[in-house]
Amino acid sequence: MLPSLTLQFLCYSSPFQRTHCLSTTTTTTSATSAAVCQSESSLRKTMDRLTENARLMIVSDLDHTMVDHHDPENLSLLRFNALWEANYRSNSLLVFSTGRSPTLYKELRKEKPMLTPDITIMSVGTEITYGNSMEPDNGWLDFLNQKWDRNIVSEETSKITELTLQSETEQRPHKLSFYVQKDKAEDIMRSLSSCLKERGLDVKIIYSGGMDLDILPQGAGKGQALAYLHEKFKAEGKLPKNTLVCGDSGNDAELFTIPDVHGVMVSNAMEELLQWHAIYAKNNPKIIHAKERCASGIIQAIGHFNLGPGISPRDVSDLSDSKLENFDPAYEVVKFYLFYERWRLAEIEKSELYMANMKAVCSKSGILVHPSGIEKHLHDCVDSLRACYGDKRGQPFRVWVDQVLPVQVGSDAWLVKFKKWEQSGGERVCCLTTALLSSKDVTVADGLTWVHVHQTWLNEASCNAGWLF
Ligand code: GLC
Ligand code: MG
């Protein structure tokens, strides 16, 4: 394929618009005006959680980037999760940027052990939401209304028989999506672009995954949405110290054009993205093509660019041996539940030493308020765990924690809130957990002591008779 055609193939619009889509300067400027007039309290909460500029902002695509659909055990995702919660959650920002609509995004979250992002960008950068409640950024929606009329797009596309409409859920206020055969895509994009221009619209047409064709307002797209977020953070003096963008397909290309970002194309990236990179970004040392697939490629990039800790606790076989300089409650929580998973899977030796260690890290008078409401001594819980050695051996059993957020409540005490997930076969349960951890009378090498744990089912359906802690 000729270089000039590759670009058009990926993201076709008029020459001016094409520059707009890929030139970093224009991207930032156009996003600014909309960014400045925004001040949502939901975004404020996201910003206020960080006491200083985020150490790292990861902006990752989901399908075939964060989520590996060819990895039924989700091992690379779980490796990333452990690394993020142990080392980044409290000082960094996790942003998911997906082509999926809110409906399909929520379905994916039910299928895969995904973390909760701080910001969710959906429908190819046309919808931005903040926090757990996914509060929409209405200013972004207003901005996208410029030179956009979905009825006209709908009218014009209905005349093209080669375009097959995607499911109803994927048709959004600022996104119309179709399937089109690879060999027809380029011509259709070219003719659509000029006819919509004649009708007074300014659109962006993106081809991804060798089959999906999205039509969006010109100002939309994953890259533009990121530029808009950067502007907002900058306006508050909270621009992240580093941003790492991660992707695998056509609609991710513009992420790599945002100024100053580091980028990783995962090893399994699609031809369309690799071709775009070969032509437009080959000499940019801040973009790598990872050797590893999906989330493992993201971990590889963190290490490659030196963006912070790069070893997932899941890759540490003897966790009792891990060296820390300071007490780290988030790391402690991740470590605790990794041990718990390994014990039940019999992936570690059945040694009384481990049980003695568990008892040592649980305060003698410590209590667990079990999600059923019953109070138990932490030491009795450890005894129950002893009896469960290997009870999940060879089974699809996984444990992960999400949104581990410690707050220091005294000179030697931390209150850590997190969601603890446990998946056994097809069943998946979660408890909102609050744990009081103390560093009183222990050294960093001993780790922190668990003083009190309180758990609540995330929802009724979570109630599970076999829940230990
Ligand atoms: C996701 C969306 C789809 C879109 C594609 C490429 O698969 O569900 O509507 O066309 O991403 O952006
Ligand atoms: Mg993808």
The ligand with the least distance to the CA atom of 270 is 2
Whole-number pLDDT of residue 94: 98
State the distance from the centre of ligand 1 to the C-alpha of 206, rounded, in angstroms. 10
Report the alpha-carbon distance of residue 111 to residue 98 in Å, rounded: 16
Identify the weakest region by mean pLDDT among 28-37, 286-295, 370-379: 28-37
Query: Which residue's alpha carbon is at the smallest distance from atom 8 of ligand 1?
Result: 100
Residue 298 or residue 6, greater confidence: 298
Residue with tokens 């119309």: 176
Hey, which of 167, 169, 177 would you mutate to test ligand 1's pocket, going by the most ligand atoms within 8 Å of its Cβ? 177
State the distance from the centre of ligand 1 to the C-alpha of 257, rounded, in angstroms. 20
Identify the weakest region by mean pLDDT among 32-46, 151-165, 204-218, 228-242: 32-46
State the distance from the centre of ligand 2 to the C-alpha of 108, rounded, in angstroms. 13
Q: Is the pLDDT of residue 26 over 80?
A: no
State the distance from the centre of ligand 1 to the C-alpha of 415, rounded, in angstroms. 40
Report the alpha-carbon distance of residue 219 to residue 148 in Å, rounded: 10
% of the chain beyond a pLDDT of 90: 81
State the distance from the centre of ligand 2 to the C-alpha of 62, rounded, in angstroms. 6
Whole-number pLDDT of residue 21: 32
Query: Which residue's alpha carbon is at the smallest distance from atom 5 of ligand 1?
Result: 99
Single-letter residue type at 90: S
% of the chain beyond a pLDDT of 70: 90
Give which of 293, 254, 319, 335 is closest to 11, Cα–Cα: 254
CA–CA–CA angle 260, 53, 28 (5° rounding): 35
CA atoms within 13 A on the CB side of 104: 18
State the distance from the centre of ligand 2 to the C-alpha of 246, rounded, in angstroms. 9
Whole-number pLDDT of residue 461: 67
Confidence of residue 17 (pLDDT cuts 50, 70, 90): very low
Residues with CB under 6 A from ligand 1: 99-100, 104, 124, 166, 170, 177, 208-209, 212, 214, 251
Query: Which residue's alpha carbon is at the smallest distance from atom 9 of ligand 1?
Result: 170
State the distance between the two ends of the chain, measured CA to CA, in whole angstroms: 57
Q: Closest ligand 1 atom to the C-alpha of 170?
A: 9
Q: Is the pLDDT of residue 308 over 70?
A: yes
State the distance from the centre of ligand 1 to the C-alpha of 167, rounded, in angstroms. 10
CA dihedral 340, 346, 352, 356 (to 10 degrees): -10
State the distance from the centre of ligand 2 to the C-alpha of 99, rounded, in angstroms. 8
**CB of 245 closer than 8 Å to CB of 273:** no
Q: Closest ligand 1 atom to the C-alpha of 101?
A: 8
Residue with tokens 């379905």: 107
Q: At what angle do helices 3-10 and 182-198 cross, to 10 degrees?
A: 70
Q: Is the pLDDT of residue 226 over 90?
A: yes
Helix (H) or strand (E) segment spanning residue 241? none
Q: Closest ligand 1 atom to the C-alpha of 206?
A: 12
Report the alpha-carbon distance of residue 408 to residue 84 in Å, rounded: 20
Hey, which of 11, 124, 172, 174 would you mutate to test ligand 1's pocket, going by the most ligand atoms within 8 Å of its Cβ? 124
Report the alpha-carbon distance of residue 409 to residue 437 in Å, rounded: 10
Whole-number pLDDT of residue 103: 98
Hey, which of 98, 100, 176 would you mutate to test ligand 1's pocket, going by the most ligand atoms within 8 Å of its Cβ? 100
Q: Is the pLDDT of residue 19 over 70?
A: no
pTM: 0.92
Residue 226 is encoded by which pair of tokens? 């990121």
State the distance from the centre of ligand 2 to the C-alpha of 65, rounded, in angstroms. 6
Q: Convert 298-321 to b/e letters by CB count within 10 Å (16 or more is b).
A: bbbbbeebebbebbbbbeeeebee
Residue 461 or residue 405, greater confidence: 405
Q: Is the pLDDT of residue 80 over 80?
A: yes
Taking residues 199-208, report their average pLDDT.
Answer: 94
The ligand with the least distance to the CA atom of 222 is 1
CA–CA–CA angle 293, 59, 124 (5° rounding): 95
Query: Which residue's alpha carbon is at the smallest distance from atom 10 of ligand 1?
Result: 212
Taking residues 228-245, report their average pLDDT.
Answer: 96
Hey, which of 106, 166, 172 would you mutate to test ligand 1's pocket, going by the most ligand atoms within 8 Å of its Cβ? 166
Q: Closest ligand 1 atom to the C-alpha of 178?
A: 10
Q: Closest ligand 1 atom to the C-alpha of 214?
A: 10
Q: Closest ligand 1 atom to the C-alpha of 175?
A: 9
**99-127 pLDDT per residue, tens:** 999 999 999 999 999 999 999 999 999 99
State the distance from the centre of ligand 2 to the C-alpha of 282, rounded, in angstroms. 20
Residue 460 or residue 345, greater confidence: 345
Query: Which residue's alpha carbon is at the smallest distance from atom 4 of ligand 1?
Result: 99
Residue 347 is encoded by which pair of tokens? 């992936």
State the distance from the centre of ligand 2 to the C-alpha of 101, rounded, in angstroms. 13
Whole-number pLDDT of residue 462: 66
The ligand with the least distance to the CA atom of 121 is 1
State the distance from the centre of ligand 1 to the C-alpha of 274, rounded, in angstroms. 19
DSSP string, 295-351: HHHHHHHHHHTT-S----GGG-S-GGG---SS--HHHHHHHHHHHHHHHHTT-S---
Confidence of residue 146 (pLDDT cuts 50, 70, 90): confident
Q: Closest ligand 1 atom to the C-alpha of 104?
A: 8
